[in-house]
């Protein structure tokens, strides 16, 4: 199949097909989508590009993250960019705003730009991973970090969320807390699932009771959710004496509610967050939280990509790996 065949099929000019494949600005998004959907369907690869890719790297990678304006993901990006600069790589950054459809579009766009690899933290609403499997099938290096899918055969750079959550409950138990609630993340992402599992495992280990009424989903991960969720928790169960929130932002919302209702922290209710955002050490009281080292995760993700792309161009077998970045619980005033 040639560009001429595609143009004829779609009833557009050859020049328009070529520009659409190269993502030129003077081609409408609708036309680009038509062309890209069709060439994906027929598995078309421009011969000249395919030939060059067999002999050299493009020295470009794509990074897909849920949010740019986010303390943790900004830190991850800093780590990736620092490593990319060392090795003379160009980085194309995309954000999904936690949208599955946006994620699919951005993956497709990066593949058409012939990046050497894609580093991704998947959106919270991603419930189908075929687009990620397509990246692997295209022999483009795929590295997942932080929010990952276990269903995709690609390397993963993560923390041990279950262990970190377990350690939080252990700490609260050591402080004499017996009725520990959890403001959990969305039902879908693996990080939220693992933190919830770690929470339940710790309750069982320390012979503390689990009650579904003490778990509230905060799927946006914002401060206001923490406030309203804490109100719900304490209305349902006034005996709650500790709250483990899945992000620092949600934890700070919980603190806002407790302070507004003259509930002493940590004497009456202790609060622990997750990620160690900069604001956590400036809150009053200062927030106990898990330090999630974003810069280290970013560096490790790029280094894993570099290892795999080197093997690929040496025609060596690339086997997916899972690497854990250590975390630590930072004890502060809120617990």
Q: Is the pLDDT of residue 52 over 50?
A: no
Kindly state the helix (H) or strand (E) to which residue 25 belongs, with its residue range.
Answer: none
> Are residue 149 and residue 167 in the same domain, yes or no?
no
Nearest to 225 by CA among 244, 251, 243: 251
Looking up residue 167, the CATH number of its domain turns out to be: 3.40.50.2300
Q: Determine, yes or no, domain membership for 52.
A: yes
On whether both 169 and 287 belong to a single domain, the answer is yes
What per-residue confidence (pLDDT) applies to 19?
A: 83
Same domain, 218 and 139: no
Structure confidence at residue 62 (pLDDT): 97
**What is the tens place of the pLDDT at every residue in 106-130?**
999 999 888 999 999 999 888 899 9
Mean pLDDT of 59-81: 94
Mean pLDDT of 2-20: 87
- 318 shares a domain with 239: no
Predicted confidence at residue 46, as pLDDT, reads 61
pLDDT tens track for 255-285: 999 999 999 999 999 999 999 998 999 999 9
8 domain residue, yes or no: no
pLDDT at 270: 98
In a domain, 7, yes or no: no
171-225 pLDDT, tens digit each: 999 999 999 999 999 888 899 999 999 999 999 999 999 999 999 999 888 999 9
pLDDT at 55 over 70: no
In eight-state DSSP terms, residue 335 is: -
Is residue 175 one of the residues assigned to a domain?
yes
pTM equals: 0.81
Q: What's the half-sphere exposure (Cβ side, CA atoms, 13 Å) at 329?
A: 21
Q: Which residue has the higher pLDDT, 254 or 55?
A: 254
Q: Are residues 166 and 286 in the same domain?
A: yes
pLDDT for position 112: 86
Residue 20, in any domain of the structure: no
pLDDT at 166: 98
Identify which has the larger pLDDT, 271 or 58.
271
Q: Which of 121, 71, 66, 113 is closest to 91 using CA atoms?
A: 113
- β-pairing, 289-291 vs 328-330, is antiparallel
Does 23 have pLDDT greater than 80? Answer: no
Structural domain contains residue 205: yes
Flag whether 279 is in a domain.
Answer: yes
Distances (CA, A) of 78 to 33, 86, 237: 31, 13, 42
- Does residue 111 form part of some domain? yes
The residue range of the domain holding 60 is 45-153+296-326
Q: Do 284 and 315 belong together in one domain? A: no
Instruction: For residues 53 and 148, state if they share a domain.
Output: yes
Mean pLDDT of the chain: 92
Query: Confidence band (pLDDT; 50, 70, 90) for 74?
Result: very high
| Edge-to-edge strand ranges of the sheet holding 322-324 | 90-95, 60-65, 117-120, 141-145, 155-158, 322-324
Q: What is the pLDDT of residues 132-179, one digit of tens each?
A: 999 998 889 999 999 999 999 999 999 999 999 999 999 999 999 999
- The secondary structure of residue 325, as a DSSP letter, is P
List Cβ neighbours of 12 (8 Å cut-off, separation of 6 or more): 31, 35
Average pLDDT score over residue span 93-116: 93
Query: What would the mean pLDDT of 22-35 be, rounded to a whole number?
Result: 85
Residues 232 and 282 in one domain: yes
Q: In what helix (H) or strand (E) does residue 149 lie, and over which residues does it extend? A: none
Q: Are residues 170 and 287 in the same domain?
A: yes
**What is the count of structural domains for the chain?**
2
Stretch among 96-100, 195-199, 200-204, 302-306 having the lowest mean pLDDT: 96-100
Task: Looking at the structure, tell me whether residues 175 and 278 fall in a common domain.
Answer: yes
**Residue 88 pLDDT:** 94
Residues 238 and 302 in one domain: no
Residue 77 and residue 193 in one domain? no
Binning pLDDT at 50, 70 and 90, where does residue 295 land? very high
- Supply 267's token pair: 């004497």
Q: What is the mean pLDDT of residues 42-58?
A: 59
């Amino acid at each position: 199949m040639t560009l001429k065949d595609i143009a004829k099929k779609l009833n557009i000019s050859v020049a328009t097909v070529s520009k659409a494949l190269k993502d030129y600005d003077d081609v409408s998004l609708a036309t680009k989508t038509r062309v890209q959907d069709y060439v994906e369907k027929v598995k078309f690869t421009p011969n000249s590009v395919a030939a060059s890719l067999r002999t050299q790297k493009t020295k470009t990678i794509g990074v897909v993250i849920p949010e740019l304006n986010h303390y943790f993901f900004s830190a991850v990006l800093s780590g990736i960019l620092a490593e990319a600069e060392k090795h003379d790589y160009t980085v194309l950054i995309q954000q999904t705003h936690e949208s599955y459809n946006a994620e699919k579009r951005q993956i497709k766009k990066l593949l058409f730009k012939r990046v050497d690899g894609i580093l991704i933290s998947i959106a919270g609403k991603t419930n189908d991973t075929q687009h990620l499997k397509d990246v692997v099938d295209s022999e483009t290096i795929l590295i997942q970090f932080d929010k990952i899918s276990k269903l995709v055969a690609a390397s993963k750079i993560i923390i041990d969320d279950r262990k970190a959550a377990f350690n939080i409950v252990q700490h609260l138990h050591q402080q004499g807390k017996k009725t520990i609630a959890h403001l959990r993340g969305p039902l879908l992402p693996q990080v939220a699932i693992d933190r919830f599992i770690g929470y339940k495992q710790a309750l069982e280990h320390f012979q503390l009771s689990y009650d579904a009424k003490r778990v509230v989903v905060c799927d946006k991960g914002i401060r206001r959710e923490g406030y309203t969720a804490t109100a719900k928790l304490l209305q349902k169960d006034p005996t709650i004496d500790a709250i483990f929130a899945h992000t620092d932002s949600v934890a700070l919302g919980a603190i806002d509610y407790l302070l507004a209702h003259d509930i002493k922290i940590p004497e009456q209710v202790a609060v622990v967050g997750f990620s160690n955002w900069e604001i956590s050490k400036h809150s009053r009281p200062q927030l106990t939280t898990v330090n999630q080292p974003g810069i280290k995760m970013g560096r490790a993700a790029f280094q894993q990509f570099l290892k795999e792309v080197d093997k690929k161009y040496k025609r060596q077998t690339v086997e997916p790996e899972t690497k854990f970045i250590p975390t630590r619980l930072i004890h502060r005033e809120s617990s």
